Amino acid sequence: MINPMTSVFRLTIAGLVLSGSAALAQPVRAPAAAGDRPALEQQFRQRVAALAKERLALNDAQMTQLEQSNARFGPRLNQIAAQERETRRQLRLEMTATEPNQQHVSNLLDTSL
């Protein structure tokens, strides 16, 4: 008789191996020029949309709704991400300083939460 934990472990390992082999099967693309960022971002957005549609089993109407939501909330999410990066950068600088300003660290931690 197989221990239930052993079965779970084996299934987990099998899932990791299968997902890793699927990742390795992805086509290899040549690196693009540094000035081609907009095209790379467009390719990335298209690939993410295709994965979302496939994994969430969305129909065309649902994909349209998702794209509209992304367009509506995208700029705000980008702004929040930029603020979060800046807060983490300041916190990192403060924590690596020889004498960190405890009040500033406290404020940055409050901001991050």
Q: Are 104 and 94 in contact, with CB atoms under 8 Å apart? A: yes
DSSP label at residue 35: G
Task: List, for residues 51-86, the tens digit of each pLDDT value.
Answer: 999 998 989 999 999 889 988 998 999 999 999 999
Q: Is the pLDDT of residue 41 over 70?
A: yes
Q: How many whole angstroms separate alpha carbon 61 and alpha carbon 83?
A: 33
Percentage of residues in the chain with pLDDT exceeding 70?
Answer: 69
CA distances for 113 relative to 45, 84, 95, angstroms: 29, 10, 17
What are the tokens at 68?
């509209």
Q: How many whole angstroms separate alpha carbon 81 and alpha carbon 64?
A: 24
